[in-house]
Amino acid sequence: MTKFSDLKLDPKVLKAVEEAGYESPTPIQAGAIPPALEGRDVLGIAQTGTGKTAGFVLPMITMLARGRARARMPRSLVLCPTRELAAQVAENFDTYAKNVKLTKALLIGGVSFKEQDALIDKGVDVLIATPGRLLDHFERGKLLLTGVQVMVVDEADRMLDMGFIPDIERIFSLTPFTRQTLFFSATMAPEIERITNTFLSNPARIEVARQATASETIEQGVVMFKPSRRDRADSEKRKLLRALIDAEGDKLTNAIIFCNRKTDVDIVAKSLKKYGYDAAPIHGDLDQSQRTRTLDGFRNGELKLLIASDVAARGLDVPAVSHVFNFDVPGHAEDYVHRIGRTGRAGRAGKAITLCSTRDEKNLDDVERLIDKQIPRLDNPLAGAQPEKVEDRSDDQPKRSRSRKPKPDETPREARADDKPRKDDTAREEPRSRSQRGKKDADNNIVGMGDHLPGFIAKSFDERRAG
């Protein structure tokens, strides 16, 4: 079996790895580190959780250990799709570079430009950034990328999902042609393959089989859900989630609840808090300080339930998560394995429960096809319960009244004494019998114009005949 000591890493880096408790590299690390140390471009295809962060951090530290950064000209660049993943990469650098004198800066949204500018001005060896904030600094003239020797693109498939590919292409064009590129992605969509063919030079391709099975320590289950009425589907689904949480009792020490949409993340979190649960949301639209505070609270055990979107939770490493709830079946089957992999880590036991409505059954079939087994069906704890008469609308928009209420100084129409007859009232008062209509027509000497002749037309006929 390959060990880290066989990979020609800097002795100071090896010491930090040993102190972190690691001895043998994962397949992606064993495959990516040797060509990276040789200065070759690397194309790594592996899921989150396979250890690829260390696969590029360790060789970068070894290569950057000699040399010095210049003001506003970072020596290396790591691009991440989300703030949380960027912060996690920064933590990895702190862990493995503690015996090496390297400087780093973290450029993410939601943090003061002034603080980040101060770090860049001093000169940094490692710049870790999200694409948008990096380009903001560049356009303000605070950053030069002409000194980048090593460039890393992490989670490229998520970059594609989030619409960052044009930004990535622009950043590539701002860096030297001679740079070394380490490119990692879980999947190889045509757009990502085009970028690798354009910007990577004869890369060493390391492909780790996609994770199609979850850890055996994770107990999986799915609850099939059918609402009593279509307009009550969302509120009844939230009620089912609360019942499932209650049913776990003391076994549930903390949990991540995944939703497919950011709007649902907010709604579910608000609903749980209303019913007395310790819950908070995390997604891309929240302020960075709030996201950091929420995540730190969850890691420290101060927060019990974390409601998250896939993008916000991508790459999060929280060792002891007892439960994962899928409020929605994910649209991509691979995301199911990624979600439930947040629990049952490092040999611990974990439980993953999925709520599947009728419209999600196709996605559930895709998941079961990927993991090559049927997920056990669990009993619905609300089966046979009478639907509530009052719908839970605490976190939805209030219903609009169909009837218009009279203003305070307004008398109801039927009570008005001075109402004038409407035009159609006059029409209803005209004689309706055939003989009466014939007599009226004869008086006006108008023939063949119908029963509903307007008055102004009759007047014009009378004037013409008189002339």
pLDDT higher than 50, residue 11: yes
pLDDT (tens digit per residue) in 189-234: 888 899 999 999 999 999 886 656 667 788 999 999 998 888 899 9
Residue 234: both structure tokens together: 């969302």
Residue 296: both structure tokens together: 């730190």
User: What was the pLDDT predicted at 242?
Assistant: 96
Owning domain of residue 42: 4-207
Q: What are the strands, taking DSSP E only, across 15-124?
A: 42-45, 76-79, 104-107
Q: What CATH number should be reported for the domain holding residue 8?
A: 3.40.50.300
Would strands 42-45 and 204-207 be described as parallel, antiparallel, or unpaired?
parallel
Is residue 398 one of the residues assigned to a domain?
A: no
Query: Distance between CA 84 and CA 110 in Å, rounded?
Result: 12
Q: Is 284 helix (H, G, I), strand (E, B) or coil?
A: coil
Identify the bridge partners of residue 222 per DSSP, sorted by sequence position.
354, 377
First-last CA distance in the chain: 118
pLDDT higher than 90, residue 394: no
pLDDT higher than 60, residue 408: no
CB 4 within 8 A of CB 26: no
Is residue 384 one of the residues assigned to a domain?
A: no
Residue 344 pLDDT level (bands cut at 50, 70, 90): confident
Is residue 417 one of the residues assigned to a domain?
A: no
User: What was the pLDDT predicted at 318?
Assistant: 76
The answer on 196 and 48 residing in a single domain is yes
Is residue 16 one of the residues assigned to a domain?
A: yes
User: What was the pLDDT predicted at 211?
Assistant: 58
The answer on 256 and 123 residing in a single domain is no
Is residue 102 one of the residues assigned to a domain?
A: yes
User: What was the pLDDT predicted at 213?
Assistant: 65
Q: Is 357 helix (H, G, I), strand (E, B) or coil?
A: strand
- Please say which residue of 345, 371, 397 terminates a domain: 371
The answer on 184 and 42 residing in a single domain is yes
User: What was the pLDDT predicted at 343?
Assistant: 85
Q: Which of 115, 31, 133 is closest to 77 using CA atoms? A: 133
User: What was the pLDDT predicted at 157?
Assistant: 83
Rounded average pLDDT over 394-404 = 46
Residue 151 pLDDT level (bands cut at 50, 70, 90): very high
User: What was the pLDDT predicted at 347?
Assistant: 65
From residue 47, give the alpha-carbon distance in Å to each of 53, 90, 185, 232, 314: 11, 19, 7, 37, 11
Query: Distance between CA 406 and CA 175 in Å, rounded?
Result: 68
Residue 403: both structure tokens together: 């009837």
Query: Distance between CA 266 and CA 75 in Å, rounded?
Result: 40
Q: Is 218 helix (H, G, I), strand (E, B) or coil?
A: strand
Q: Report which of residues 47 and 68 the model is more confident about.
A: 68
Residue 396: both structure tokens together: 């939805």
User: What was the pLDDT predicted at 209?
Assistant: 67
The answer on 222 and 74 residing in a single domain is no
pLDDT higher than 60, residue 467: no
Give me the numbers of helices (H) and strands (E) for the chain, helices first please: 18, 13
Residue 339 pLDDT level (bands cut at 50, 70, 90): confident
Query: Distance between CA 18 and CA 108 in Å, rounded?
Result: 30
The answer on 153 and 222 residing in a single domain is no
pTM of the entire structure? 0.65
Length in residues, the chain = 467
The answer on 193 and 237 residing in a single domain is no
Query: Distance between CA 318 and CA 314 in Å, rounded?
Result: 11
The answer on 182 and 63 residing in a single domain is yes
φ/ψ bin of 214: left (φ > 0), alpha (ψ from -120 to 50), beta (otherwise): beta
Identify the bridge partners of residue 204 per DSSP, sorted by sequence position.
42
Residue 448 pLDDT level (bands cut at 50, 70, 90): low
Residue 72 pLDDT level (bands cut at 50, 70, 90): confident
The answer on 267 and 336 residing in a single domain is yes
Q: Report which of residues 170 and 390 the model is more confident about.
A: 170
Residue 455 pLDDT level (bands cut at 50, 70, 90): low
The answer on 158 and 120 residing in a single domain is yes
Q: Which of 290, 41, 280 is closest to 153 using CA atoms? A: 41
Residue 458 pLDDT level (bands cut at 50, 70, 90): low
φ/ψ bin of 47: left (φ > 0), alpha (ψ from -120 to 50), beta (otherwise): beta
The answer on 57 and 185 residing in a single domain is yes
What share of the chain has pLDDT > 70, as a percent? 78
pLDDT (tens digit per residue) in 79-125: 999 888 898 899 999 999 999 989 999 999 878 888 899 989 988 99
Is residue 114 one of the residues assigned to a domain?
A: yes
CB 308 within 8 A of CB 256: yes
Is residue 194 one of the residues assigned to a domain?
A: yes
Radius of gyration (C-alpha) of the chain in whole angstroms: 34
The answer on 304 and 173 residing in a single domain is no
- Please say which residue of 207, 236, 271 terminates a domain: 207
The answer on 284 and 226 residing in a single domain is yes
Rounded average pLDDT over 279-284 = 89
Would strands 180-185 and 204-207 be described as parallel, antiparallel, or unpaired?
unpaired
Rounded average pLDDT over 138-146 = 92
- Please say which residue of 180, 207, 234 terminates a domain: 207
Number of structural domains the chain divides into: 2
Query: Distance between CA 177 and CA 183 in Å, rounded?
Result: 15
Rounded average pLDDT over 175-182 = 95
Q: Which amino acid is at 127?
A: L
Q: Report which of residues 443 and 340 the model is more confident about.
A: 340
For all residues of the chain together, what is the average pLDDT?
82
Is residue 428 one of the residues assigned to a domain?
A: no
Give phi and psi for 377, each to the nearest 5: -85, 135
pLDDT higher than 90, residue 148: yes
Residue 403 CB partners (closer than 8 Å, separation 6+): none
